[in-house]
Structure 1
Amino acid sequence: MDLKPLITLLAIVNPLAIVPFFIHYTQGMTRAQRRRTVWISSCTAFAVIAACALAGLQILDFFGISLASFQVGGGMLLLMSSMAMLNAQPAEAKTTREEVHDAASRASIAVVPLTIPLLTGPATMSTVVIYAERAQTFWQHAALVGYGVVVALATALCFTLAVPIERALGKTGINVMTRLMGLILAALAVEVMAAGLQRLFPALGVPA
């Protein structure tokens, strides 16, 4: 079983880096409200990954986008995300201040901004679509959806243990973990871009 998609998804989603955001957005909530937020965030993260795995290619066909172009664009997005993570910023934290304040004023912040875009933003979606194209059998597609379950469980675990994790690792520890995941993601981004460029320019794959 190819675990590279799972490693890539865990590196991009990186729920550990979103723990401080979870604590911030759930301040003043009761324990039951926090549990509900954890459950909704985890289920939404799985739904996004599963939808991209099952219907992502059909969406590309609808818009007439070639997978090679999508791979290059997605790889660039992954590389940008890895650069942000190497600076100890969440890979998908691209919301504006206005969006954050608007989301914080809603009854539930589990979907926006915790899940989208902090957990599963454009980089996550493009990665799932790219790996979905490589899946040749039903079981490979099922494994990709299953990886969404693993990501959801990792998210639920990190959010449930948010306070102990922040206390144990501290800001420095979380930053170190984020940088390590960013380094792994940068290497995976180069592989994705290389595969797309070889499809667009076959001569690049011919040895000199």
Structure 2
Amino acid sequence: MVDILLSGFVTIFVIIDPLGLVPLFLAVTPDADANERRSVAIRACVIAFAILALFAIAGMALLQGLGITLGAFRVAGGLFLFWIGFELVFERRQERHRRSADRAVDDPEVADVAAFPLAIPLIAGPGAISAVILLSGNLPTVAGRIGLVAILLVAMIVTFGFLAVADRIDRFLGVTGRAVISRLLGVLLAALAVQFVAEGAAQLVETTTAAPLSTSP
């Protein structure tokens, strides 16, 4: 279980990409001082944690209610995570997130950027939700789900740490440093996604071959 939790933390951390969030966070809080930015970061991380924890606890029940097998979701979720890794490597995900941030800045009706676009979809986006549901399928016990919620909490604390010192990180790394790290994280996420697809495909084959046997007299 420890190996699954460690792999899960890496997966969630890479998808959230706190380093990639730094320039976007600064973009949506242009006139805020350090204390105001920390307040926004706390609210965003709390909202994102609540959303991801909900899917960690009830995600599998949702799949079962929709009649979706874990194997099928592993294949679909793995492909989706692979696409996110592809976007990280070629810097396309940053452009998409930047468009969401720009809409929030330009829209006068957006009262709190902590909820949108920070918590949703920049932190607790479709990729993070898919990863959490996939991980919950690998951790079906109560202890496993508690461990999953715990690594989500750690991921949110780390994300808050990055956002709280976003201006310093942005000056230290610069554009080149962020690009290099994002590409490395994208390759890592792509490898993890392939593993999810392989496990899901094997489970689908096993289910398909076992189905005729279960119906035979």
TM (norm. structure 1) is 0.90
Consecutive unaligned residues of structure 2, counting only runs of 5 or more, are 210-217
Deviation of the 1:120 alpha carbon: 1.9
Q: 1:47 aligns with which of 50, 54, 64?
A: 50
Equivalence for 1:158: 162
Asked if residue 81 in structure 1 is aligned to residue 73 in structure 2, the reply is: no
**d(CA) in 2 for partners of 1:62, 1:89:** 34
TM (norm. structure 2) is 0.86
**d(CA) in 1 for partners of 2:96, 2:76:** 17
Equivalence for 1:148: 152
**d(CA) in 2 for partners of 1:178, 1:113:** 20
Equivalence for 1:169: 173
Deviation of the 1:204 alpha carbon: 11
Q: 1:70 aligns with which of 73, 78, 91?
A: 73
The one-letter code of the counterpart of 2:104 is A
Quick one: structure 1 residues 178 and 95, their matched pair in 2 at CA, closer, same or farther if it must change by over 3 Å? closer
Report how many residues are paired. Answer: 203
Do the aligned residues in 2 keep the contact of 1:46 with 1:148 (CA within 8 Å)? yes
Q: Which has the higher helix share?
A: 2
**Deviations 1:2-39, CA, capped at 9 Å, x for gaps:** 21111111111111111000000000123332122111
Alignment of 1:13-32 (within 5 A): 13-32=16-35
Do the aligned residues in 2 keep the contact of 1:12 with 1:81 (CA within 8 Å)? yes
Deviation of the 1:52 alpha carbon: 1.1
Equivalence for 2:196: 192
**d(CA) in 2 for partners of 1:36, 1:96:** 21
**d(CA) in 1 for partners of 2:102, 2:180:** 28
Consecutive unaligned residues of structure 1, counting only runs of 5 or more, are none
CA RMSD of superposed structures (Å): 2.1
Deviation of the 1:115 alpha carbon: 1.9
Q: Percent of aligned positions with the same letter in both sequences?
A: 33
Q: Which has the larger radius of gyration?
A: 2
Equivalence for 2:8: 5
Asked if residue 33 in structure 1 is aligned to residue 13 in structure 2, the reply is: no
Do the aligned residues in 2 keep the contact of 1:20 with 1:166 (CA within 8 Å)? yes
Quick one: structure 1 residues 191 and 119, their matched pair in 2 at CA, closer, same or farther if it must change by over 3 Å? same
**d(CA) in 2 for partners of 1:193, 1:80:** 12
Quick one: structure 1 residues 169 and 204, their matched pair in 2 at CA, closer, same or farther if it must change by over 3 Å? farther
